Structure 1
Amino acid sequence: MIQKVAAVVVPGVAPFELGIAYEVFGIDRSDTGGPVFDFTVCTPEPGLIPTKGGFGIQVDAGLAATEEADVVVAVAYDVISDTEHIDVPPAYLEALRRAHDRGAWVLSLCSGAFVLAAAGLLDGRRCTTHWMFADRLAALAPSAQVDPDVLYVQDGRVLTSAGTAAGIDAALHLVRSELGGEAARTIARRMIVPPQRDGGQAQFVVDPVPAEADTLAPLLAWVREHLDLPHTVPLLARRAMLSERTFARRFAAETGTTPAAWLVRQRVLRAQELLESTGAGVEEVARLVGFGSSAVLRHHFARVLATSPTAYRRRFADLAG
């Protein structure tokens, strides 16, 4: 259970990513049933901290705020060009190591991954950062498995995210992992963002949808409302009034993934919601989301969430009584 969150900033901090940490962890949303965190912005050398945007922010808390934090956030900053040297105080690196050693979550937003690399926390781990920085991160942490094509990666209690808005997805993933889907959905509703995007979704697409093309959004919304039905590429392409080839290309352009992978993820997400908020049995949940049988549902839960539907329900169910 997470309660205390410390976001660490250094000179050149990116204001948007700092805002992400504050929006997810720093706002009291108890009036709408959301969680409340003890949130602190801290820095190795308290005072006026210059931002990447050219203005300063006053930060009074030092790194002592990280000592009892359940989550330590390495906020993005203006990374220097020399990948062999990360210019942050050694005390910052040590604070991250101590937090990790005692079992706290360590979350990096965009280029904050470079600080985790300098602290040795990415050695031997899967991780990500903004695709423009991926090669530099790989050079700094040669034993890390840097994936430039995903939104975020969780490896143990180390969570790294790609650029800008991907940090929202990573932070909400952390909330869901610790507090359950309803807590994440409550925060997301207030932020007016999707409650969960799959971490494996592509950071960007090479073949964007032409400006004049109709979006597939209405079709995707319809599929989400009818997950119990069979959905194949030929059937979906016909419904979209497109050739199968055009449909597959446009689907990848709009979602960053394949129809099959997207559909599995939507079914898993819906199954999570049903397990959390209803008393439906596992077999019934499997039928309602289109997996057909509990065996297939268990297979996808194990692959996507590394748990079983029953274990997930035990941890996250919010059934009355």
Structure 2
Amino acid sequence: MFNLAIPEMIFEKVEVDGRPGYEVTVCTPEPGPITTTGGLGLHVDRGLDALREADTVLVAGTGHRYEPDPRTVEAVREAAADGRRIASICSGAFVLAEAGLLDGRSATTYWELAEELRQRYPALDLKGDVLYVQDGQMMTASGYAAGIDLCLHIIRTDYGAAVANEVARRALVAPVRPGGQTQFTQTPLPPERGNACADTRGWAMRNLDKPLTLTDLARHAGVSVRTLTRRFHAESGVSPLQWLLHQRIERAKELLETTALPLDQVARACGLGTADSLRGHLVRRTGLTPSAYRAQFSRIGTAEARGTSSAA
């Protein structure tokens, strides 16, 4: 139920220019009552014909080993042949692999199932300890909450980091994380747990282009550096400077996506100083150089309000 609920929860929060960004349809080989774990019942109205209406097909796994339904395998294979974007969560990767869609491609699944996936489908390149993998039009996520990361990655690909991070905030989950992080990686910026430093955080966000120091932040908060650091860590789970660096990188990503500013201007606007500094921080955070990030996620010249329907 959790893997199936993730796409509905995440995609339904996307709004672009006041309109829904996605329409999510749940389908199954045999419409009607479905048995799930935990004693909960589920009723699904649509059959696999729904895949013909989809732009993205997302196969939700079960969290444990199972034999892919041949009807689902064939429907997913046909959807891929028609040019649909194909994704999976957890053991859903077995469906993609059984359809031959992962042959010669990088993929992942839940870590407890990784070795079995490797043995059953040796033609794929298993990345056993990452959150998610995209290889062309095929995307696979590891287990459970990594499905949230994959959905946010899809949103970022379609609408940009600003929209994806807004969805993350509304869903009270971590901002978009790069797929190369391990399945055991902690959240890069935990949810805030208080508001004593809220005004100072807001002030810092409005002044990211300035060379802010701990003394500057403490002066704004009206406390000592030591008190600020203690309160900040209690509320944010990170030090003030770690939080500040995270926000600078997020601002840089948004500027790379939404403007054509030269890299040195992007670096200055988000407080990272130079293009070289921007490059170093972005590579460490995302695995991409600023130019590569812009090439992949730039929204300039694209229709911001385009919609995508997704069938799980």
Q: Same fold (TM over 0.5)?
A: yes
Q: What's the CA shift for 1:152?
A: 0.7
Secondary structure of residue in 1 paired with 2:38: coil
CA contact (8 A) 2:279 2:290 kept: no
Q: How has the CA–CA distance of structure 1 residues 275 and 296 changed in structure 2, closer, same or farther, with 3 Å as cutoff?
A: closer
Please state if 1:18 is matched with 2:4: yes
Specify the alignment match of 1:272 in structure 2: 253
Q: What's the CA shift for 1:274?
A: 2.0
Q: How has the CA–CA distance of structure 1 residues 279 and 123 changed in structure 2, closer, same or farther, with 3 Å as cutoff?
A: closer
Q: What's the CA shift for 1:105?
A: 1.4
Structure 2 alignment gaps of length 5 or more: 187-196, 213-224, 227-236, 305-312
Specify the alignment match of 1:58 in structure 2: 43
CA contact (8 A) 2:263 2:290 kept: no
CA RMSD of superposed structures (Å):
3.9
One-letter identity of the residue aligned with 2:10: V
Q: How has the CA–CA distance of structure 1 residues 189 and 317 changed in structure 2, closer, same or farther, with 3 Å as cutoff?
A: farther
Specify the alignment match of 1:309 in structure 2: 294
Q: How has the CA–CA distance of structure 1 residues 18 and 198 changed in structure 2, closer, same or farther, with 3 Å as cutoff?
A: same
Q: What's the CA shift for 1:263?
A: 11
One-letter identity of the residue aligned with 1:52: T
One-letter identity of the residue aligned with 1:282: L
Q: What's the CA shift for 1:42?
A: 0.3
Query: CA separation in 2, counterparts of 1:294 and 1:196?
Result: 23
Specify the alignment match of 2:122 in structure 1: 142
Q: What's the CA shift for 1:109?
A: 0.8
One-letter identity of the residue aligned with 1:118: E
Secondary structure of residue in 2 paired with 1:139: helix
Specify the alignment match of 2:96 in structure 1: 116
Deviation readout 1:246-276 (Å, 9 max, x if unpaired): xxxxxxxx99xxxxxx999876543221234
Query: CA separation in 2, counterparts of 1:156 and 1:291?
Result: 34
CA contact (8 A) 1:34 1:187 kept: no
Q: What's the CA shift for 1:197?
A: 1.1
Query: CA separation in 1, counterparts of 2:33 and 2:127?
Result: 35
In the comparison of the two structures, how many residue pairs are matched?
259
Deviation readout 1:226-250 (Å, 9 max, x if unpaired): 79879xxxxxxxx99xxxxxxxxxx
Q: What's the CA shift for 1:313?
A: 5.0
Query: CA separation in 2, counterparts of 1:310 and 1:88?
Result: 37
One-letter identity of the residue aligned with 1:152: Y
Query: CA separation in 2, counterparts of 1:227 and 1:144?
Result: 45
Instruction: Tell me which of the two structures has the higher relative contact order, counting C-alpha pairs closer than 8 angstroms and 6 or more residues apart.
Output: 2
CA contact (8 A) 1:118 1:140 kept: no
Q: Give aligned-pair identity as a percent.
A: 40
Specify the alignment match of 1:293 in structure 2: 275
Specify the alignment match of 1:201 in structure 2: 181
Specify the alignment match of 2:60 in structure 1: 75
Structure 1 alignment gaps of length 5 or more: 1-14, 81-85, 207-217, 231-238, 241-253, 256-261
Query: CA separation in 1, counterparts of 2:303 and 2:211?
Result: 26
Query: CA separation in 1, counterparts of 2:167 and 2:210?
Result: 28
1:123-202 paired onto structure 2 within 5 Å: 123-202=103-182
Specify the alignment match of 1:40 in structure 2: 25
Query: CA separation in 1, counterparts of 2:245 and 2:83?
Result: 32
Query: CA separation in 1, counterparts of 2:169 and 2:31?
Result: 34
Residue of 72, 86, 89 corresponding to 2:69: 89
Query: CA separation in 1, counterparts of 2:92 and 2:210?
Result: 41
CA contact (8 A) 2:6 2:147 kept: yes
